[in-house]
A and B are shown apart, each in its own frame.
Chain A
Amino acid sequence: MATEVTPTDGVELPSSTAAYGIDNPAPVIEPPRTRTPRTPRATRTNFELYGWLFMRLSGVVLVVLVIGHLIIQLVLDGGVTKVGFAFVAGRWASPFWQGWDLVMLWLAMLHGGNGLRTVINDYAEQANTRFWLKALLFTAVAFTIVLGSLVIFTFDPNIR
């Protein structure tokens, strides 16, 4: 299932196909995985639909969280020059900013992980290659989410 619709330019389409128009710019393509009597019933879920929906919902939230993060880290109070252990300690003293960073970490990793899953599915043609690339991706995403969450929750401003 395509994750992004890229409507094509109406004027570029052949004029012989009267079904095309500005409101119907794409030619009809048969579904690549039409159900056959041999299609196993149990493997068909709405996972891709929920993945598609998650990309849009998390995307909207991430626009706010990430641009806020960039403004705080790179623009306000001298930009990147102020960033250091003391600055991190000051921000994570507040549960609000801990929560901000935790939600941003989870949503960004899951959004990026699902995006890379789509990229792997698109370009890795061998089933084996797809499997191992996605295994590596899943490991990296799980590792990063666990590590980041532990760092936020176990942060100790008096470590030294």
Chain B
Amino acid sequence: MPAGTLYRGREGMWSWVAHRVTGVLIFFFLFVHVLDTALVRVSPEDYDKVVSTYKTPIVSLLEYGLVAAILFHALNGLRIIAVDYWTQGPRYQKQMFWTVMGLWVLLMLGAIYPVLGHAARVLFGS
């Protein structure tokens, strides 16, 4: 651990850690996603074959995880901007963090049916 760090735990540090982890995960997904989309220049059959694996239950669960990472990174990113530019931002950073978490839980509950509904129909019949 480099000397002179200011890790102090609590909402400030853990939101920063989660922002990093989700950011790195999204970056690697994006790299693979551009490669799979590039298959439209190979042939429609190859593209559809790869995309069909995205409709399987296991990959649907990964998609739900991707949505979770993106929504956290987006909401917490807006919180970071508020901390930087809103004069009262640093004072209310904790309240904003828990607002982010509340919105994130609501959106993730709302995403269950659209993202995982198809997987449930495959697994349990429609």
Map CB proximity to B onto A1-35 as digits: 1 under 8 Å, 0 otherwise: 00011111100100000000011011101000000
Question: Which B residues lie within 8 Å of A8 (CB)?
Answer: 6, 8, 10, 12
Q: Quick one: given A4-B80, A70-B67, are A79 and B41 in contact (CB under 8 Å)?
A: no
Q: For the complex, is B27 an interface residue (Cβ under 8 Å from A)?
A: yes
Whether, in the assembled complex, A88 has its beta carbon less than 8 Å from a beta carbon of chain B, the answer is yes
- In the complex, are the beta carbons of A5 and B43 less than 8 A apart? no
Task: Tell me the dominant secondary structure on chain B's binding face.
Answer: helix
From A41-49, A127-135, A144-152, the one touching the partner chain is A144-152
Contact A112 B81 (CB under 8 A): no
A156 CA to B40 CA, complexed, in Å: 8
B117 at the interface (CB under 8 A from A): yes
Instruction: Please indicate the chain A residues that have their CB under 8 angstroms from the CB of B101 in the complex.
Output: none
- Is A97 part of the binding interface, using a Cβ–Cβ cutoff of 8 Å? no
Residues of A within 8 Å of B19, CB to CB, are: 4
A116-134 interface bits toward B, Cβ cutoff 8 Å, 1 = contact, 0 = none: 1001000001000000000
Residue of B nearest to A151 (CB): B38
Contacts A70-B67, A74-B115, A140-B31 given; does A22 touch B44 at CB 8 Å: no
Main SS of chain A's interface residues? helix
Residue of B at shortest CB range from A13?
B8
Total residues of chain B contacting the partner, CB 8 A: 53
Contacts from B to A (Cβ < 8 Å): 2, 4, 6, 8, 10, 12-13, 15-16, 19-20, 23-24, 26-27, 30-31, 34-35, 37-38, 40-41, 43-45, 47-48, 51, 54-55, 60, 63, 67, 70-71, 74, 77-78, 80-81, 83-85, 90-91, 93-94, 111, 114-115, 117-118
Q: Which 7 A-B pairs have the closest CB atoms?
A: A85-B44, A112-B27, A6-B12, A75-B114, A8-B8, A7-B90, A148-B34
Offer 21 A-B interface pairs, CB within 8 angstroms, sorted by A: A4-B19, A5-B83, A6-B16, A7-B83, A9-B8, A26-B6, A56-B84, A59-B77, A74-B67, A80-B55, A85-B40, A85-B47, A86-B44, A108-B30, A115-B24, A115-B27, A116-B24, A144-B31, A144-B35, A151-B34, A159-B43
